[in-house]
Chain A
Amino acid sequence: MQSSAARKMTAEGWLEPPPLPHHYDTIENHQSALRFGMWLFLGTEVLLFAGIFVGYFTFRHYFPEAFEQSARHLSVPLGTANTLLLLTSSLTVALAHYNAEHGRNRNAFWLLMASVVMGAGFLGIKAVEYTEKFHEGALPGRFFSFAEITAPGGPVFYVVYFFSTGLHALHVVVGMSLLIWVALRCWRKEFSPTYYAPVENSGLYWHLVDLVWIFLYPLLYLV
């Protein structure tokens, strides 16, 4: 892609869009293709997490008491706080998309940075929870040594817990990196009503991270 330095600033106060690849007829055509590609990728992400959710329900069926006991040892206030953080960061990402689409790059920058800060807050809370689990010995498989869970299957619950929240946390890190990347491009005023696909697609990824957590939160902490 052509660097932003080579692109001219328009009278409206944003950089002119990058040149249209020759195989697209119009810029709308290009934007639709970029969006469609992102949705296809999100479809594969849904299937990636599908395996984890199927694992959750299978093991929950085999070890219902262990899952119930273990869920009671997770901190509901921390889990709820994390849910609200992610929902709020989704709002700021959606607002950033709206602002970028209207050429208000500086607003979009600050909204994206707010989302990144909330993402970092999410990871911080997660780190507190993980630390507690490590001290308790509430760990997966043969590392399990948590005496308070007496029903069979405790180690299996923590396999599900650490793999689902761990894979999700990895997605949070990737999502934050994407948001920082588009925020910097907002700072350089690269986006305009005709070109905002990077903000939109990074936002779509962030919303997917939110979606996964919306299911993980009740299944792990509440049910």
Chain B
Amino acid sequence: MATTTPHAAAAHAKHETGPGRLVLNWLVLCGLTFATFGFSKLHISPGMHLAAALTISTVKVALVVLIFMHLWHGEGINRIVFVTSFVFLLLLMFFVMADVTTRFSLSNSRIPPMPQVDQRMIPSGMPPGMSNTPQGHSGGGAGPSSGEAGKQ
């Protein structure tokens, strides 16, 4: 079959993403980059910032995958592979975050308060952010820190 088909026709039939479309895709991607930057300057809540950034990034990734990486015109099996890897990424992210964000302190039972940390036990070279001071973790109920238990 390949003996009679000219190479160019064979290539065109296989995938149709020409240079024009690639350049257009690049322009859209650059535009979306500036859009991400613009959104970060808006006065909205941190959660909204995160949601906007992730949404725009997902659109950009979809454009790169579908146009630059030819998944739009490519074989279906490759689509399954890539989508599956993303589904597993989301599963990992979902279950880890579901755990991390719903942890709570057990110290409202009759467990005696944790003893105060002896400051001399902390290595002298410890930077301020790492020391076990009773500031507590700002995320709330983050693991077995001495913050909450020490206050009781």
Contacts and interface: CB of A to CB of B under 8 A. Distances in A.
Interface of A: 12, 27, 32, 35-36, 39-40, 42-44, 46-47, 50-51, 53-54, 57-58, 61-66, 68, 76, 80, 83-84, 87-88, 90-91, 93-95, 98, 101-103, 141-142, 144-145, 149-156, 192-194, 203-204, 207, 210-211, 214-215, 217-219, 222-223
A218 B64 contact: no
Given A42-B85, A53-B89, A87 B96 contact: no
Nearest to B126: A142
A54 B96 contact: yes
A6 to B, nearest CB: 22
A46 to B, nearest CB: 4
Nearest to A200: B70
A94 B68 contact: yes
Interface centre among B61, B92, B129, B142 (most CB of A within 10 A): B129
B72 interface: no
Interface string B14-46: 000111001101100110010011011000001
A64 B138 contact: yes
Interface centre among B60, B86, B97, B101 (most CB of A within 10 A): B60
B23 A91 contact: yes
17 contacts: A47-B85, A50-B88, A80-B33, A88-B26, A91-B68, A93-B68, A98-B18, A98-B19, A149-B129, A152-B138, A153-B129, A153-B137, A193-B11, A207-B69, A215-B54, A217-B57, A223-B53
